[in-house]
Amino acid sequence: MNGIIPLYKPRGVTSADCVYQLRKILHEKKIGHTGTLDPEVDGVLVICVGQATKLVNRLMISHKVYQGQILLGQETTTEDATGEVVKQKPVDKPYSDQQISTAMLELTGNIKQQPPMFSAVKINGKKLYEYARAGQSVERPIRDVEIYQFKQTESTIFDEQLHQQTIAFEVECSKGTYIRTLAVQLGQLLQVPAHMKQLTRTKGSHFALAQTFTLEQIQAQFAHGQTDFLISLTNLLKPLVSVDLTVNQWQVVQNGGRLKLAQNASEIILRYQGIVKAIYRHQQDFYEPELMLLKNDL
């Protein structure tokens, strides 16, 4: 089985749990995903099956879109609602939409982030959350990430009794962005403790939430011999210029050879009998192998 599955990951399970379940459902060992979602985050988790696992890195670099809520008034150990409160400051007067939008704009563009201690980033062979759980501190790298859009999606909610304010937001960002950290950074600009209250990934690796399938839907379809949930590599790579190979050209490609073609594109897909078999990149006067997908059958 080869292709892409736009999966809906529910809250309360890990991305690895989803991969494990799909291996059992599809009886396929070669399965991977294109970007981890925290257990309490739901939404789009794009799964690569078979030959499509070779495309994981290519799909991971695409923009991602999230919608969620940020709570002003408390900061937690994990930077989200699952952690212990470590800082509190009552919000006696709600921040205006203008104040919030101005702070969001300041966090738009190229910004720097430090991964949360409760994250899977590896330092000296250990994941940060392993250090955190052991009560150890470790120097964390500073990352450059890109925030393409950060905006409010509706009016804020001010809780007069708890002295807290909740902001509904949407963010479009690059690979490697921690939305939890972005919530804390917004609070810092507003000079108030903050954490991410809730989060949903609404778009990832070119797929939107409306295009996803649940594990239950996939299991039901597969049990009846249907695979509507599986997107072929041919459909996935449609935007690229494609070349249909002759028998002789196919022989060359199977041996990893280069081709001289009339196309004028930096990257092309090569198809044999209508099925994607390779991605080639233009180098001087020839096209040379970039990614081989010789066993692809969809």
Q: What is residue 125's DSSP assignment?
A: T
Where would I find the H helices in 31-178?
56-60, 97-106, 128-133
Q: Is 80 a catalytic residue?
A: no
Which 3 state secondary structure label does DSSP give 104? Answer: helix
Which 3 state secondary structure label does DSSP give 64? Answer: strand
Q: With CA atoms as reference, report the closest residue to 120 among 78, 86, 83.
A: 78
Rounded Cα distance between 186 and 44, Å, is: 24
**How many Cα atoms within 13 Å fall on the side-chain side of residue 25?**
24
Name the burial class of residue 141, with classes exposed (0-12), middle (13-18) and buried (19+) by CB atoms within 10 angstroms of its CB: exposed
Rounded Cα distance between 79 and 83, Å, is: 7
- Among 38, 92, 244, 285, the active-site one is 38
Rounded Cα distance between 269 and 258, Å, is: 13
Residues noted as catalytic: 38
